[in-house]
Structure 1
Amino acid sequence: MNCLIVYAHPNPKSFNAAVLKTVTDNLSATHTVQLIDLYADHFDPVLRFDDDHKRRDLTSDPATKRYRDLVTWADQFIFIFPIWWSGMPAMMKGFIDRVFVAGFAYHNTNTGLKGHLNGKAWIITTHNTPAFITPFAQDYGKVLKGQILKSCGIRPVKISQLTGIEKNSDQERQKKLAMIAQTAKTI
């Protein structure tokens, strides 16, 4: 299986980095894995529309061609990012805005969006929201699942929310990483 990991965290020593390492260490060796580390790539998240940048041209933007090729290549998507202020990092949002574009990832129909992509996804988010509030909180992991990936044809989509990270002990963090390792082994 072709696994594409899309990762967004600016600190290479963060808990998110530990999540990324846990995922990559526990995916089956039979999979081919590619990583898009948006911060390491210095991805430009800014979507521009002006005389030189037309919305209709996003499907052929040379700056995002490598990313579109990887998205098309993938059978399994794994998104890893923190939730900040109830949203995904601007880097991840910019990636979605610039790569998952009309004409490439989907097109509009009279009854809604028709997805062009295939595969399944696993979204791993970290945040400090207490676990008991998580079901009620606006969470861009849920937005990515229900309003973006599914609309683009990617199904099923699983979400793993790692909550209360800032206050977790090292032992609690290790338990969360063990859970991620178990899930990664099943892909």
Structure 2
Amino acid sequence: MKKQEIYILGCVLTSVIFFVLSLFINNSGKTIQDVTLSSEGGLISSFEISRKNQVISVKVSQNLDQAGGQNTVLVDLLDKNSNVLLSVSKDLYYETGYDSEGAWTDSDTMLNTKFTIPEPGQYGFRINTNHNDLAQQDIEVKVIAYWASTLPFTLAGWLFAILALGSIIWVNRRSIKDSTGDNNE
């Protein structure tokens, strides 16, 4: 095996390892809150963050099953004094209709976001809603803590994938030049 082939294989394997680590981290979170709120929203009791730069995800879902159901959900991250640190909002909806191609359904019934909590301490969430009469279903809220952020692993995976692809292109270009006898760069 040539040096270039070993380098390319190493880049591909390293890329795969980083992507697998990212998937593992993303699927290995610990649920710290799992609550059901009315369609009006509410407070999620305080929870302890014990380390710096803790990554948590918040998943807010509502089973909208009637056409025209709409709910704007606002999630506030609160400190121990109920001060808002961060806010995220999303419009949840469920729509159906007919057009020239037949019946269609379009929906988006989940807000899924991640926060990095910089300092240990007590935190909580406030869920505010603004919904129509067709969005009366309860809201499910799940808070998950992860042991690390997936971002550096995903970026490293892409970096090594790009290096491998660039090396493949470079090696193929060199072999084409060598086979045609064109050695001018």
Q: TM-score, normalised by structure 1?
A: 0.25
Q: Report which of the two has the higher share of strand.
A: 2
More helix by share: 1
**What TM-score does the superposition give when structure 2 sets the normalisation length?**
0.25
